[in-house]
Amino acid sequence: MTAVEAPHTPRVRRVLLIVGGGIAAYKALELVRLMRKAGLEVKAVLTRSGAEFVTPLSLAALTGSAVRQDLFSSEDETAMGHIELSRWADLIVVAPATAGLLAKAATGAADDLASTTLIATDAPVLLAPAMNVRMWLHPAVQANLATVRAFSEPRYTVVGPDDGEMACGEYGPGRMAEPAAILAAILTHDGKAGSGDRPLAGRHALVTAGPTFEPIDPVRGLTNRSSGKQGYAIAGALARAGARVTLVSGPVGLGTPTGVDRVSVETADQMLAAVEAALPADLAVLTAAVSDWRVADAADRKIKKQPGEGPPTLTLVENPDILKALSRHPDHRPALVIGFAAETGELERRAAAKLETKGCDWIVGNDVSEGVFGADETRVMLFRKGQTPDPWPETTKTAVADRLVHAVAVHFKKEAS
Ligand code: CTP
C-alpha cells in the first residue's frame, strides 16, 4: 500500500518499544530485528505479563540495550530515569498492545513502568493491538481505544489489528499487525516532529470505500469492480492530517491504513447502518461503489439448477443511497459532505447534476472510461457548489487523496476564520 511506503528520511530515529503480555509478543522480537535493520535505535520496556511470553535476555540481545522491567529499580533509574526514558523516544510503540495496557493508557493508570511511561512521555504513541476477537470487539476496549485516539497530545495512532485465525482458534479481527506492517507505520510516522502539522486534528472524518456485495444466495452475489484504493488512500491521508478517521469498507483486499478505524461491511444496508453509527462526523468522503440494487429475497440455501426449468428470475430492489441520506441527515449532517461520481462520459454535466440530486457539497468527478478500476492512476475534477469546476492533472490515487485532504483542510481553516 502506498500509505505505508517509507519516506526517504524517516523522522523517527529512536523507538521505545513496550512489549505487553500476549502470545503476539513473540512477533515483537521480529519487529526489533526489523527496526534495527532499518537503522533505528531501540530500547525496550517489558511488562510483567510480557515477560511470561518473551525473555528480557532475547529483547536485550536484539535491541543491544538493557531491557527495563521495573519502575522502582535503583540500578535502572540511576542509568536513565523513567521520565528521561519516556522523553528519549521519538515514538513509543506498544506491541502487542493488550486490552489491559489499552485500559491503563485510556485512564492514565500508572502502576508499573509501561503505564507510567505512557503518561510521562511527550512522544506520540503507536499501538499495535493484539487480543482475542471478542475482547477486541468488546465495547469497553473500543471505548478505551476511542479515548486514546481522541487525545490531542500525546497523539495515539493504531496499526492493525488484522483479521485472521487467532492462537485460540477463533477467527476475526484481533491478530497483531505483522512486524513488517508495524515497521512501515513507524517509518512513515512523523514522530515528535509532526505535532504541529496536523490541520485536521480534533476532526472526525467518515470515509466509505470499496464495493458492496449483495447476496443472491449463500455463495453468490452482486458486486462490482471497485478496488477501494482511492477511498483507502483518502482515509490514510485524512489520518496523517490529524483527523480521527472511521473507514466503512466493503470487501476489498487492502490493509487498513495507519491510524484509521475500519468497520468492515458487505451490503449497502450494512454500510448505511455503519455510517449512521459512526455519526456525528465533521466531514464525510463517500467513495464506495454502492450497488444500486440488491436481490429482493436472497435465498438462504444455494440455488440449484432445476432441469427443464431454465435460469431463475432475480427480482431486484433499490438500495439506500448513502450519500443522499447523509447529505440530508436530519440531526447529524456533517459540515462537509463529499461524494464521488464515476462516469464513462459527459463527466462535467453529470457530476454537476449529481451535486444537486445528492445534496452534497463537493463531488470528485472521476472518469472511469479508461480502466481506472484497480489502477493506481486516476483522472479527476473537483466540483464545488457555486464554484467553477477544478480539473486536476492525471495523477495517482494517493496524490488525489493528498490534494483532496489539503482542499478539505483549507476549507475548514476558512470556515474557522
Ligand atoms: N452512493 C451512495 N449510495 C448509493 C449509491 C451511490 O452513497 N446507493 C455514492 C457513492 O459513494 C458516490 C456517489 O454516491 O459518492 C455517486 O455514486 P454513483 O454510483 O456514481 O451514482 P449513482 O447514484 O449510482 O448515479 P448513476 O446511476 O447516475 O451513476
Q: How far apart are CA 362 and CA 272, in angstroms?
A: 20
CA distance 147 to 135: 17
Asked whether residue 149 falls in the same domain as residue 232, the answer is no
Q: Residue 2 has what pLDDT?
A: 36
Report the percent of the chain where pLDDT is more than 70. Answer: 93
Which 3 state secondary structure label does DSSP give 295?
strand
Report the atom number in ligand 1 closest to the C-alpha of 363.
15
Atom of ligand 1 lying closest to residue 268 CA: 8
**Residues 235 and 322 both lie in one domain:** yes
pLDDT tens-digit series, residues 377-414: 777 899 998 888 998 876 788 889 988 999 999 999 88
pLDDT-based confidence at 8, cuts 50/70/90?
very low
Give me the domain span that covers residue 30.
Answer: 14-187
Q: Are residues 140 and 101 in the same domain?
A: yes
Is 407 part of a structural domain of the chain?
yes
**CATH number for position 33:** 3.40.50.1950
| Residue 195 placed within a domain | no
CA-326 nearest atom, ligand 1: 7
Task: Confirm whether 255 is domain-assigned.
Answer: yes
pLDDT value of residue 9: 56
Question: How do 171-175 and 244-249 pair as beta strands?
Answer: unpaired
In a domain, 91, yes or no: yes
Q: Which residues pair with 173 in a beta bridge?
A: 163
Question: Are 349 and 210 within one domain?
Answer: yes
Say yes or no: CB of residue 268 within 6 Å of ligand 1.
yes
Mean pLDDT of 366-383: 74
State which ligand 1 atom lies nearest to the alpha carbon of 208: 11
Cβ–ligand 1 contact at 341 (below 6 Å): yes
- Compute the CA torsion angle 327, 330, 334, 336 (nearest 10 deg): 40
C-alpha cell belonging to residue 154: 500525546
172 shares its domain with 225: no
Tell me, yes or no, whether 126 and 172 share the same domain.
Answer: yes
Same domain? For 343 and 240 the reply is yes
* CB 254 near ligand 1, within 6 Å: no
Same domain, 213 and 362: yes
Average pLDDT for 101-117: 94
Q: Is 321 in the pocket of ligand 1 (CB under 6 A)?
A: yes
Calculate how far, in angstroms, residue 153's C-alpha sits from the geometric centre of ligand 1.
38
How many Å lie between the centroid of ligand 1 and the Cα of residue 273? 17
Which of 225, 318, 321, 327 most suits a substitution to test ligand 1, by most atoms within 8 Å of the C-beta? 321
How many domains, in total, are found in the chain? 2
154/263 same-domain check: no
Domain termination site, one of 187, 216, 241: 187
Out of 21-35, 274-288, 340-354, 373-387, least confident range: 373-387
Q: 338: Cβ below 6 Å to ligand 1?
A: no
Quick check: helix, strand or coil at residue 4?
helix
The mean pLDDT of 202-220, rounded to a whole number, is: 96
pLDDT tens track for 127-171: 999 999 999 999 999 999 999 988 877 889 999 998 887 777 788
Residue 361 in domain: yes
Other residues' Cβ atoms within 10 Å of the Cβ of residue 196: 8
Distance 39 CA to ligand 1 centre (A): 46
Q: When comparing pLDDT for 209 and 373, which is higher?
A: 209
Mutate which of 276, 286, 383 for ligand 1? The one with the most ligand atoms within 8 Å of its CB, which is 286
* Residue 5 confidence (pLDDT): 41
Instruction: Look at residue 375 in the predicted model and tell me its pLDDT.
Output: 67
Q: Is there a single domain that holds both residue 144 and residue 89? A: yes
Query: How large is the average pLDDT for residues 17-43?
Result: 95
Pocket of ligand 1 contains residue 213 by CB under 6 Å: no
- Backbone dihedral region of 316: left (phi > 0), alpha (psi from -120 to 50 degrees) or beta? beta
Over 80: is that where the pLDDT of 18 sits? yes
293 alpha carbon to ligand 1 midpoint, in Å?
A: 11
My answer on whether 266 and 182 are in the same domain is: no
Q: Which residues are catalytic?
A: 168
| The predicted structure's pLDDT at residue 218 | 96
Question: What distance in angstroms lies between residue 1's CA and the mean position of ligand 1's atoms?
Answer: 25
pTM above 0.75, yes or no: no
Q: Do both 62 and 155 map to the same domain?
A: yes
